[in-house]
Amino acid sequence: MSLSSDIKRVLEIFHATRDDTLPYREFEKPPLRSPETTYGREGEGSLPSSPSPAFGLQGLSGKSGSSSVFLPPPQRSRKVFRPLEAPQAAGGEAEEWPGLKAAVSDLIPALPSPPSKWPLLVLCSLAGGSGRSTLSSVLAIENARHGRPCLLIDLNETSLYPYLFMNFRHEESVRMGRSWTFHTYEPTGIPMVVVRPDPEELRGNEGSDALSRLRDEIVSQAAGIFGNSGHPDPFVLIDSPPMTRQELKETLRISSMFLSPVRPDLPSLVSVKDMEKSFDRLEREENRYCERFYVLNRFIPDHPLHQDIYEIIRQILSRRLCPFVIPEDSTVELAQARGESLLDVFSETSAAISMAEVSRWISAKLAG
């Protein structure tokens, strides 16, 4: 029985290559076609008109034969759809459309700059009573003093801002289940907006993106408020209660800058060590770097233990420790008891002056 031509060709190749030292022979591969390439359009991605090279197995003579020839697919015309360009506004006098105006009269126009670019700072700690809310208030006041508004998202169960901003002119409203309080810094007329969501909104959502959604919803609603005010884009401050590691991980996804006030005692020293370990671990897991800064609060200069703890924290944190310390001073608490606000004691207490210096230092970090 005679062998077919295909079997003969395979036997010839086998006998020609049986003495090769390599286990297989690598043949030239045809180039892959890019999925973005479109065919049939003149001047864009069309195939060359020159003859295509043939790729074949080597024969007995060692030259490339004409077997197993690869040919590119034939050119076919293909429709390429382009998105429609935005229509141009018609010139001349504008038409009067009272029905259209009435339909959109309660909508808030969008900001010309995307709200996602607003600088965002998270004030956090692993221990309560460290002074986050007081420092957030001073940050808001200092920014308002220099002409920049502030959007402050208060996530605490009990809010201290009605007492910290006491005697400020304010207006309150409720939007989509959240409390909005508009405080005004009278000398400049700059608004400081405190938003308090329902605590149940974030509770029980461990491992989810609840905080990201909350931030996006609040910022999108605030965009129209600040966009129509004529002021610069606001700073966004998130006053967060003591967080677990999972909550810290979720917060890291929406902000890359954290500020944590700490007290000069042993629990705060341990919490600083744990926070640094958590941040280092999260940076490796999330493959991103976050700036975090610490400020020493309620510091007594002539207290030996406070001095030693400050030196230990300074060695641990290096440049992450704020160069200013906030001294122990009960003037703020006494002012609140008398029904005064932070603004009333700014020139009377060393603590308020130090907090203002810290605020200017962290604002420069945010702006840079």
Kindly report the number of other CB atoms within 10 A of residue 269's CB atom. Answer: 16
Out of 225-234, 258-267, 336-345, the most confident range is 258-267
Write down the pLDDT at residue 242. Answer: 85
Tally of CA atoms within 13 A in the half-sphere of 28 that contains its CB: 12
The tokens of 348 are what?
A: 């009377």
Distances (CA, A) of 59 to 5, 14, 15, 293: 14, 10, 11, 72
Among the listed residues 269, 265, 228, 257, the one whose alpha carbon sits nearest the alpha carbon of residue 320:
257
For the four alpha carbons of 107, 216, 214 and 322, in that order, the dihedral sign comes to negative
Helix (H, G, I), strand (E, B) or coil at 331: helix
SS3 label, residue 40: coil
> What are the residue boundaries of the structural domains of the chain, listed by start?
1-31+54-69, 115-367
Tell me the pLDDT tens digit for each residue of 150-193.
999 999 988 889 888 887 878 888 776 789 999 998 888 899 99
Question: For residue 168, what is the DSSP state?
Answer: S
Would you state the pLDDT for residue 171?
A: 85
Query: Three-state DSSP class for 122?
Result: strand
Mean pLDDT lowest among 68-77, 328-337, 345-354: 68-77
Q: Is the Cα torsion angle 204, 209, 211, 214 positive or negative in sign?
A: negative
Q: Per the confidence metrics, is the pTM higher than 0.75?
A: no
Model pLDDT for residues 234-243, shown as the tens digit of each residue = 999 999 988 8
What CATH number belongs to 115-367? Answer: 3.40.50.300
In the predicted structure, residue 59 carries a pLDDT above the cut 50: no
The string of pLDDT tens digits covering residues 197-246 is: 887 777 655 546 888 888 888 988 888 888 777 788 899 999 998 887 88
Q: What is the DSSP string of 220-265?
A: HHHHHHHHTTTSPPPEEEEE--S--HHHHHHHHTT-SEEEEEE-SS
> Whole-angstrom Cα distance, residue 354 to residue 141?
14
Q: What's CA 155's distance to the chain center, in Å?
A: 18
Model pLDDT, residue 50:
45
Residue indicated by tokens 């440049």: 319
- Asked whether the beta carbons of 359 and 112 are under 8 A apart, the reply is no
